[in-house]
């Protein structure tokens, strides 16, 4: 079972829109099944480099482009992330909770590519300025 019905997309403290949970989610719980277009490695590289597409996931078998999916594309990077992505089957992955998540918390993952850390503006890195503006 997916917790999709308990998620909502709204303004994020991190960047643009984000995904928030309405309920408490326990560490390890499956949150959202991530599906998308299955693409080749060369197509993946092309989309990442030409289109800046950061929503392509590798599930051990295939590259899955989730950029046209309604929810997952709104997940933001946070160095102090609370979710991670694990393999499911050939064509999908799971977003799961990497720690307990409270209602109204924003879901986040570690995007895991070098550029993101160079000038990171995540909640964790920006804790000071975020605290002032709330
Ligand atoms: Zn950060």
Q: Is residue 89 part of a domain?
A: yes
Q: Is residue 120 part of a domain?
A: no
Domain total of the chain? 1
Domain interval for residue 30: 4-75+83-108
Q: What is the CA(90)–ligand 1 centre distance, in A? A: 31
pLDDT at 128 over 80: no
DSSP 8-state symbol, 94: E
- Average predicted confidence (pLDDT) for the chain: 89
Its pTM stands at 0.84
pLDDT at 130 over 60: no
Residues paired with 35 in a beta bridge: 92
Q: What is the CA(113)–ligand 1 centre distance, in A? A: 12
d(Cα 54, Cα 76) in Å, to the nearest integer?
A: 11
Q: What is the CA(78)–ligand 1 centre distance, in A? A: 5
Q: What is the CA(74)–ligand 1 centre distance, in A? A: 17
pLDDT of amino acid 103: 97
Phi, psi for residue 65 in degrees, rounded to 5: -90, 110
**83 or 89, higher pLDDT:** 83
Q: What is the CA(22)–ligand 1 centre distance, in A? A: 24
Tokens of residue 123, six digits: 């909640």
Q: Is residue 26 part of a domain?
A: yes
Give the model confidence (pLDDT) of 84-113 as tens digits.
999 998 889 999 999 999 999 999 999 887
Strand pairing of 30-35 and 92-97? antiparallel
Q: Is residue 95 part of a domain?
A: yes
CA neighbor of 28 nearest in space, from 81, 79, 106, 101 = 101
What CATH number is attached to the domain comprising 31?
Answer: 2.170.270.10
């Amino acid at each position: 079972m997916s917790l999709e019905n308990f998620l909502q997309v709204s303004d994020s403290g991190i960047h643009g829109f984000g995904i928030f949970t309405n309920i408490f989610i326990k560490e390890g719980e499956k949150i959202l099944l991530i599906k998308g277009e299955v693409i080749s490695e060369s197509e993946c590289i092309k989309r990442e480099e030409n289109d800046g597409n950061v929503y392509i996931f590798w599930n051990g078998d295939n590259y899955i482009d989730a950029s046209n999916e309604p929810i997952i594309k709104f997940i933001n990077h946070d160095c102090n992330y609370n979710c991670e992505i694990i393999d499911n089957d050939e064509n999908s992955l799971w977003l799961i909770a990497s720690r307990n998540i409270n209602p109204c918390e924003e879901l986040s993952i570690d995007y895991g590519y070098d550029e993101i850390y160079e000038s990171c503006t995540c909640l964790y890195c920006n804790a000071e300025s975020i605290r002032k503006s709330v």
